[in-house]
Every structure is written in C-alpha cells, then in structure tokens.
Amino acid sequence: LARFVYRDQRIRDYFDLQIWVCVSTKFNEVRLTLEILEHVCEDKQEYENISNFNVLQEILMRNIRNKRFLLVLDDMWEDKDRNGWTKLLAPLKSNQVNGCMVLATTRSTSVAKMIGTMDEVRLSGLDEKEFWLFFKGCAFGNENYEGDPSLQSIGKHIAKTLK
C-alpha cells in the first residue's frame, strides 16, 4: 500500500522530494540519515565521507529547506530508542514548508504508538481461501492449479503462514 501511494502521480506532483528508506531491525541514525541524504542531495560528495551525525543532520537540514517532502520509513521495528527517532527526525520537523509528511510502515503496535501523531491504519491479511487462490496464481501460474498434491499441501502451509 505504501509503495502504491509513493508511486502515485498525484504524490509525485505534490512533493518536491520523495524519500524511501528501509529501516528494518537495526536502527542506526547515521545510516538512516545517509540514506535520506542519498535522496535529497544532488552531489554525493557533499556527505559521503562524513560520519559525524550532527554534521550529517546539518547537511540534511540545508538540503530540505523550503522543500515539501514525503519520507517513507519502511519496515520499522525499533520501539525502544524514542530519543534516537527524535534526533533523526529533528531536521525534518524544523522544515518550515507546510504539507511535509512522514509515513511509517511497521508490523509492531508498539512502534506505531511510539511514532504516532495520528491514528494507525491496520491492515489484516486476506481471507484464507482468497489468499490460497492468489498464492496458487503466483506460485503455479494459475489460480485453478490442481496438480501435484504434495506441492499443494506445502503451498497451503506457506499460504497459511503468509496470510
């Protein structure tokens, strides 16, 4: 869903900068700032040999100033370092342009609560029967596949786990 929103032409037209960062399980504010800079800086030499977090944050602030941005923080897991998140997002919050947006995706309710400034949107999996048809279409090339029973059995276990 987040990818769909990110790629929508209306989003592209509205925001000056679009930034997609995969956060994953290892929260590292320097790494994340560098990844954000990859999207906002025209010249990589401006930041590539810098490891000081504060300097990187200043470069980020300079490059987003007066620009409307969408930042997607994808696959967030860290919910223990609220201070780290606050420091990471500080230059983004100091931007004076109205309409900037941060969208976070997570499977963890505690992460959503930690970063939430608005209500979370919960997505549940597809109905088991519907997902099985979808899975067969992807795995076997046909949602009506009725071939090898052992493959179907394995597929049903995988589909049930994936939801």
CA distance 124 to 135: 16
CA distance 143 to 136: 5
Give residues with Cβ within 8 angstroms of 114, minimum separation 6: 79, 82, 85
Total structural domains within the chain: 2
Do 98 and 151 reside in the same domain of the chain? no
pLDDT for residue 163: 67
Among 9-18, 106-115, 150-159, name the most confident range: 9-18
Q: Is the residue at 63 inside a domain?
A: yes
pLDDT at 39 over 90: yes
Do 48 and 109 reside in the same domain of the chain? yes
pLDDT for residue 134: 86
Q: Is the residue at 52 inside a domain?
A: yes
pLDDT for residue 118: 66
Q: Please name every residue paired with 24 in a beta bridge, in sequence order, or none if there are none.
A: 76
Instruction: Report percent pLDDT > 90 for the chain.
Output: 36
Do 69 and 136 reside in the same domain of the chain? no
Residue 94 dihedral angles phi and psi, to the nearest 5°: -80, -10
HSE of 81 in the Cβ direction (CA atoms, 13 Å)?
13
CA distance 106 to 29: 17
Which residue range forms the structural domain that includes residue 144?
A: 128-162
Tokens linked to 141: 């090339």
71, 19 Cβ separation under 8 angstroms: yes
pLDDT digits (tens, 9 = 90+) for 88-144: 888 888 887 888 998 888 888 888 777 776 677 777 777 888 888 888 888 888 888
Q: To the nearest whole number, what is the mean pLDDT of the chain?
A: 87
* DSSP E strand stretches across 77-158: 101-106
CA distances from 113 to 24, 66, 104, 117, 159 (A): 17, 29, 11, 8, 29
Do 108 and 56 reside in the same domain of the chain? yes
